[in-house]
Structure 1
Amino acid sequence: MTMIQTGKIELSSDNAIETTGGNTSTFTRVTFPTPFPSGSEVIVLPLTQTFNGPDTPGIRVHDVTESGFLIRLNEVRVNSSVMSDGKHSTEKIGWLATTV
């Protein structure tokens, strides 16, 4: 049986762009309103709901479990000559979590 939960969070980024894999010290923990059943394979689909900053916010998700996930904004790096600093104004991020 598929289980679906949704939510939203307001995020901003005062930190530099994260370039070290696995470093989640600048991420925010989101806890699901109801934990998914133990052993569930959960996926999270985030989507920016607002357009408050002039640069494109990238969304990074990590450590998805039955009880929640980690998330942060990480401005998109366009190419080697146009690089973001990682800092971004507050945006509303909607998310959908479901079992697969």
Structure 2
Amino acid sequence: MSGCGLRNGEAAVVNLNNIVAAGTYHVTEQVNRTTKQYDRLKHRKKGEYRDVPLPPQVKETIERYAETHGTVDGRPCPTRPRRRTVSVGAAGRPGTHRSAEECV
């Protein structure tokens, strides 16, 4: 989505309901880097938006992904949660990578 003119925080909250025309996407919100919550756009009042071009192949990819993985309030669901890996080995030796969940 960065090729469409979206910032990282805006691309993280892509919403199918904001595809308004064949080649236009309304950017209405972003993820706040500090709070990790949905927030209004930078330099915009609440409710304001900006339009960015949406190439047909990007629109098709978003729609196909949403169809495969489902949506919540128009937002495509992630495929899997991100996992942080830490380096712990058998008997506490470093070197073997495991997910953070396995280290608990």
Q: TM-score range by the shorter chain?
A: under 0.3
Of structures 1 and 2, the larger Rg is shown by 2
TM-score when scaled to structure 1? 0.26
TM-score when scaled to structure 2? 0.25
